[in-house]
A and B are shown apart, each in its own frame.
Chain A
């Protein structure tokens, strides 16, 4: 299984990871068209910044996924491939997962009443945020499932 970790030592807080994430999850996957899209996607990565320190925080696809434990409809689940994914058709936007994720990695689509989170970009070999990072502050960690 895989997940993305941030190296704060080399993060420059440019937020290109957030932009790449939005574009990747848009309808067109085109940065200019995405900007004009209605219901533009919400970034699944969240950059925190304070003085000289910055880092990009995203889902760690926990083995013991608290967000899934707190989900009231079964929308949030740990899948056999190791990813923690939300079934947006089942999500009712109760934000229980937001309450239970201590990393703070679940974003809220408040207009659509849906939780939004990292899906590791589906079939992409390298997640968009990792590819977009100009300073290699995001790395993919690979571990065996189990």
Chain B
């Protein structure tokens, strides 16, 4: 069996683990257009601020790939693929044949419609090692930066830039940062912490236009009319799936590459996983593009197992984020901003003196979403309850206290919940 993986993120790495958990021998070739073997993408913010060294960036060392029998073609672009002939055309490594193929091409940073941004120098995205290297190479020229977008990527970029002495302003369109996961209360707690640490956050505003001086960014004008002088703009309003390769091969796509319950695309023997895919999501009860690392890793692993013949259904993804700044941690899982009057029960606890907030969302006696700010110890218990749809009626208030645990369940439920995965 000849396995080929296109892409070099955690979905690709998960697929290697998945394939090897079933097939110890088949040849595995990984094609990535980046210059590196799979590395920590979220790690780029830690790398930029010096908390993670170059050696810490690769997700696995060379010995891992050697022992797993994986050939990595770095700096190699998959130009086209032919599902009938089962071949991938590359720019540097000629034609690569496969028996089973994984499309794990990830996503690309979206450039929002900002007047004057096209072709301007000192505009960056922040999703790849190369992005971080580029910013680092020009950091002497950056005293001030504007980050467009107050989501996961934008805020981690802001933190890293702030850490290396750059004055950062984050501009977020919604009325709060992390708007997909947070409500106003959670957002405010985080915004306060960011402000205390020197990061300026403007919510409910957007960058309308940028000005340049000698071709490089010099200022940003906001929709509110505010004008911010700046040396750089980091664009972080989201990522869009890299579907072009799949689309050109006639594979069905919607927003992302469409897959069935086995993570197989409309073309036989071609699977897809990670940020490029539109796979089943437990919170939405539908297929969604949910570009977050744990989902990508899990999908990669499952796709790999199925490529090796397992025929197991993908368990389904969930929105889940763990993000913290300057000592204030947060975890959010599942449906955290439920629609009004749709029968959801929401319980919250706010302790403003300690920066602790807990919000739990229930439906039909089950936990469907959770936001924990300030105290995230054992947050996985909540994640597990959301995933498994465990009945929790009667425990709702109890779950707001920080000592909530398995001990509060009936013995049989507890036994089940403590089983190994």
Give Cα A108 to B322, complex, Å.
Answer: 13
Question: Could you tell me if B421 and A63 are in contact, using CB atoms closer than 8 angstroms?
Answer: yes
Instruction: Tell me the nearest residue of chain A to B56, going by C-beta.
Output: A90
Instruction: Tell me the nearest residue of chain B to A50, going by C-beta.
Output: B407
Question: Could you tell me if A99 and B384 are in contact, using CB atoms closer than 8 angstroms?
Answer: no
User: Which residues of A in the span 99-123 have a Cβ within 8 Å of any Cβ on B?
Assistant: 99-104, 106-108, 110
Give Cα A101 to B324, complex, Å.
Answer: 18
- In the assembled complex, B162 has its CB within 8 A of some CB on chain A: no
Question: Could you tell me if B407 and A54 are in contact, using CB atoms closer than 8 angstroms?
Answer: yes
Whole-angstrom distance between the Cβ of A62 and the nearest chain B Cβ? 4
Give Cα A40 to B327, complex, Å.
Answer: 20
- Cβ contacts under 8 Å, B320 to chain A: 70, 99-100
Give Cα A60 to B421, complex, Å.
Answer: 8
- Cβ contacts under 8 Å, A62 to chain B: 420-421
- Cβ contacts under 8 Å, A46 to chain B: 378
User: Which residues of B in the span 291-328 have a Cβ within 8 Å of any Cβ on A?
Assistant: 293-294, 297-298, 301, 320-324, 327
Question: Could you tell me if A99 and B383 are in contact, using CB atoms closer than 8 angstroms?
Answer: yes
- In the assembled complex, A140 has its CB within 8 A of some CB on chain B: no
Question: Could you tell me if A99 and B376 are in contact, using CB atoms closer than 8 angstroms?
Answer: yes
Give Cα A101 to B383, complex, Å.
Answer: 8
- Cβ contacts under 8 Å, A73 to chain B: 40, 42-43, 46, 52, 56-57, 59
- Cβ contacts under 8 Å, B323 to chain A: 94
Question: Could you tell me if B420 and A63 are in contact, using CB atoms closer than 8 angstroms?
Answer: yes
- Mark contacts of A55-90 with chain B using CB atoms, 8 A cut-off: 1 yes-contact digit, 0 otherwise: 101001111111101101110000000000000011
- Cβ contacts under 8 Å, A55 to chain B: 406-407
Question: Could you tell me if B297 and A70 are in contact, using CB atoms closer than 8 angstroms?
Answer: yes
- Cβ contacts under 8 Å, A95 to chain B: 322, 324, 329, 331, 376, 379
Give Cα A57 to B378, complex, Å.
Answer: 11
Question: Could you tell me if A57 and B294 are in contact, using CB atoms closer than 8 angstroms?
Answer: no
Question: Could you tell me if A92 and B407 are in contact, using CB atoms closer than 8 angstroms?
Answer: no
Interface of B is mostly: mixed
Question: Could you tell me if B406 and A100 are in contact, using CB atoms closer than 8 angstroms?
Answer: no
Chain B residues with a Cβ closer than 8 Å to the other chain, count: 49
User: Which residues of B in the span 37-55 have a Cβ within 8 Å of any Cβ on A?
Assistant: 40-43, 46, 51-52
Q: A48-B407, A98-B322 are in contact. Are A60 and B294 (CB under 8 A)?
A: no
Whole-angstrom distance between the Cβ of B58 and the nearest chain A Cβ? 7
- In the assembled complex, B60 has its CB within 8 A of some CB on chain A: yes
Question: Could you tell me if B405 and A98 are in contact, using CB atoms closer than 8 angstroms?
Answer: no
- In the assembled complex, B380 has its CB within 8 A of some CB on chain A: yes
Question: Could you tell me if B407 and A89 are in contact, using CB atoms closer than 8 angstroms?
Answer: no
Instruction: Tell me the nearest residue of chain A to B419, going by C-beta.
Output: A60
- Cβ contacts under 8 Å, B376 to chain A: 95, 98-99, 108
Question: Could you tell me if B378 and A104 are in contact, using CB atoms closer than 8 angstroms?
Answer: yes
Give Cα A46 to B418, complex, Å.
Answer: 13
- In the assembled complex, B27 has its CB within 8 A of some CB on chain A: no
Question: Could you tell me if B43 and A72 are in contact, using CB atoms closer than 8 angstroms?
Answer: yes
Question: Could you tell me if B324 and A99 are in contact, using CB atoms closer than 8 angstroms?
Answer: no
Whole-angstrom distance between the Cβ of B332 and the nearest chain A Cβ? 9
- Cβ contacts under 8 Å, B56 to chain A: 73, 89-90
- Cβ contacts under 8 Å, A66 to chain B: 294, 380, 421
- In the assembled complex, B408 has its CB within 8 A of some CB on chain A: yes
Whole-angstrom distance between the Cβ of A79 and the nearest chain B Cβ? 11
Question: Could you tell me if A70 and B421 are in contact, using CB atoms closer than 8 angstroms?
Answer: no
Instruction: Tell me the nearest residue of chain B to A62, going by C-beta.
Output: B421
- In the assembled complex, B381 has its CB within 8 A of some CB on chain A: yes
22 contacts between A and B (CB under 8 A): A6-B418, A8-B411, A48-B407, A57-B406, A60-B419, A66-B421, A72-B40, A72-B41, A73-B40, A90-B52, A94-B323, A94-B324, A95-B324, A95-B379, A98-B376, A99-B322, A100-B294, A100-B380, A102-B383, A102-B387, A103-B381, A103-B406
A residues lining the B interface (CB < 8 Å): 3, 6, 8, 46, 48-50, 53-55, 57, 60-67, 69-70, 72-74, 89-90, 92, 94-96, 98-104, 106-108, 110
The 9 A-B pairs of least Cβ separation, nearest first, read A102-B384, A104-B378, A74-B59, A101-B380, A48-B407, A60-B420, A62-B421, A48-B405, A70-B294
Additional A-B contact list (4), CB under 8 Å, known A98-B331, A98-B380: A72-B42, A73-B52, A99-B379, A102-B387
